Chain A
């Protein structure tokens, strides 16, 4: 059966146009002053958690490991980015971009560092190693006050995280990860999730791909961390504890592991919901935990399962209906 297919360059152009439209409209709304300070900070926070959830999804959903130290990578990136911005080496747009790249690369280096011991370990032991690294990073930040500001925090970070910047980063993160997962590298990573031994015997370099997935995951967590610093203007080590890692993991699992759309939706819901429920005050966290247990019992694979949204697919379906209307198929 011939299905109507949109050529790849057209698909990418359609998506790029939609993203650009979203960014411009969003930016116009945000700068028009229609949205208050509190709400706009939520909007930016949502974007940062989207990057974190989508990046963790690479290691959890696609590679099939269970990292419990994502906040550690985020912390490394946050401090690296903030220190770069504070150093005042550059200014303007190059400064912003260079800071984000510094943050990402530093976090990715740590990802490699953690990925290498991961070769020897499986499953839950890997989880513990990442948990341990996350805690060590936090303890190190507390104990090196001359560089990181210690427990009171690192202050006066330039507030670069505007709507346009953070959502552009979201779009770039999703595009990069999507393209990576559709390439042969992505398929190799997926094969490790399905069965490591079988993948290895098919000639896939398990070491290389595990470390690759880990460092990509860490890179974007680092970028998100830098944006986080750029949003708050101050970084305190307490923001990057074990519970912060868990919070990101919850987003990924609740959204559905291996579904980018799920991660994005869950990040938006779980970041915005507690603020929307502020009137409920002390019952807020109880509702949150009940929601978590409830969703897991009723739908263990997460809200979206492994479903992913594809604009091109929707257009193809619609287009297919138009073009094939009563004429029995469309020749390619």
Chain B
């Protein structure tokens, strides 16, 4: 029974990581950037939701505002900080992303103080536990897992079945060729950031419901874990990010449940390294041929 409740627990954490990991993976697939600011977009979503609820707005409105805020912020970051660097070396882009991440954290610290604010998780998802044949499952877990499945299905539909999805795939395959075929590359890149940020917005609400604290540096840890998840699944691959997210969430819960919680982060990285040694491009990553 303990096993099943831990399994649900792991799936809940994994769903959150998977949703954040999708943002990393999509952006990487399209402009080969490890977007370090993604975790801080998550933090912004948490703060927007917190203030909206404290201002007395309805939960639905608060959640929508948080998602919308994440999308606007992410597109703004892309336009201001990343788009001038299209032709620059990739490491400059990476350092810019680190700079944006530090900027967001410190702005949040300046405006909202460094201390953690408690998040009214109850007003979004009431604390309720269901007992299914002896296994205790909280409403939050159920909603989190279902939301993740629905958003991933929606994303898969978007990428595989719509016109903009086709354009996204084309740009990630070969941006220059896509441009010659009439794809507006800049718009596709902005759209990718927006889609990733929307998932991060949903993820931030679910993360705050699990760990009800909002702080300027709260994005760093889930950001890093989701980033690991994206690499684990093969960065740039959407199903890979989902699989990686669930895998990392389950590992972490398992290790913690076995009583090695202080070792958890180390073990997660150890498994990642082992996987990369066996399969250097992650579980579902494609290996690229290189020409001289």
Contact = CB atoms under 8 A, between A and B. Distances in A.
Interface of A: 60, 66, 117, 120-122, 124-125, 127-129, 131-133, 135-136, 139-140, 142-143, 195, 197-198, 201, 242, 246, 249-250, 253-254, 257, 282-283, 285-286, 288-290, 292-293, 296-297, 300-302
Contact of A125 (B99, B265, B276): B276
Contacts of A292: 95-96, 98-99, 102
Given A132-B272, A142-B262, A253-B91, A120 B277 contact: yes
B116 interface: no
A129 B273 contact: yes
B260 to A, nearest CB: 9
Nearest to B106: A285
Interface of B: 28, 34, 81, 84-85, 88-89, 91-96, 98-100, 102-103, 105-107, 109-110, 224, 228, 231, 235, 262-263, 265-266, 269-270, 272-273, 276-277, 280-282, 290-292
Given A136-B266, A282-B110, A289 B228 contact: no
Contacts of B281: 125
Contacts of B280: 120-122, 125
A139 B81 contact: no
* Most chain B beta-carbon neighbours within 10 Å: one of A66, A127, A128, A254: A128
B262 A300 contact: no
Contacts of A129: 273, 276
Contact of A128 (B231, B263, B291, B292): B231
* Most chain A beta-carbon neighbours within 10 Å: one of B34, B85, B95, B291: B95
A253 B98 CA distance: 12
26 contacts: A60-B91, A66-B91, A117-B273, A121-B280, A122-B280, A127-B34, A132-B269, A135-B269, A139-B263, A197-B292, A242-B224, A250-B95, A285-B106, A286-B110, A289-B106, A290-B103, A292-B96, A293-B81, A293-B100, A296-B85, A297-B85, A297-B96, A300-B85, A300-B88, A300-B92, A301-B89
A132 B273 contact: yes
Contacts of A143: 262-263, 266
B91 A257 contact: yes
Contact of A293 (B96, B231, B266, B273): B96
Secondary structure type dominating chain B contacts: helix
Q: Which 10 A-B pairs have the closest CB atoms?
A: A139-B266, A292-B99, A300-B88, A132-B269, A300-B92, A289-B103, A289-B102, A293-B99, A285-B106, A296-B96
A289 to B, nearest CB: 4
A286 B269 contact: no
Nearest to A201: B292
B188 to A, nearest CB: 21
Contacts, number: 117
Contacts of A242: 224
Contacts of A117: 273, 276-277
Contacts of B292: 195, 197-198, 201
B138 to A, nearest CB: 29
A122 B287 CA distance: 10
Given A135-B269, A140-B266, A128 B276 contact: yes
Contacts of B34: 124, 127
B286 to A, nearest CB: 13
A174 to B, nearest CB: 22
A317 B88 CA distance: 33
Given A120-B280, A139-B263, A197-B292, A246 B88 contact: no
Nearest to B264: A139
Contacts of A136: 266, 269-270
Given A125-B231, A301-B89, A286 B107 contact: yes
B123 to A, nearest CB: 31
Nearest to A290: B103
Contacts of A297: 81, 84-85, 96
Given A66-B91, A128-B276, A286 B231 contact: no
A131 B225 CA distance: 12
A249 B228 CA distance: 19
A86 B202 CA distance: 51
A254 B103 contact: no
* Most chain B beta-carbon neighbours within 10 Å: one of A124, A254, A290: A124
A238 B248 CA distance: 23
A39 B34 CA distance: 37
A199 to B, nearest CB: 10
A246 B272 contact: no
Contacts of A139: 262-263, 265-266, 269
Contacts of A120: 276-277, 280
Contacts of B262: 139, 142-143
* Most chain B beta-carbon neighbours within 10 Å: one of A127, A198, A297, A301: A297
A302 B280 CA distance: 31
Given A139-B262, A143-B262, A195-B292, A253 B107 contact: no
A222 B109 CA distance: 33
Contacts of B228: 128, 132
Contacts of B88: 296, 300
* Most chain B beta-carbon neighbours within 10 Å: one of A122, A285, A296, A301: A296
A3 to B, nearest CB: 32
Given A242-B224, A293-B81, 14 more contacts: A120-B280, A128-B231, A135-B265, A136-B266, A139-B266, A142-B262, A143-B262, A143-B266, A254-B95, A290-B103, A293-B96, A296-B92, A296-B96, A297-B85
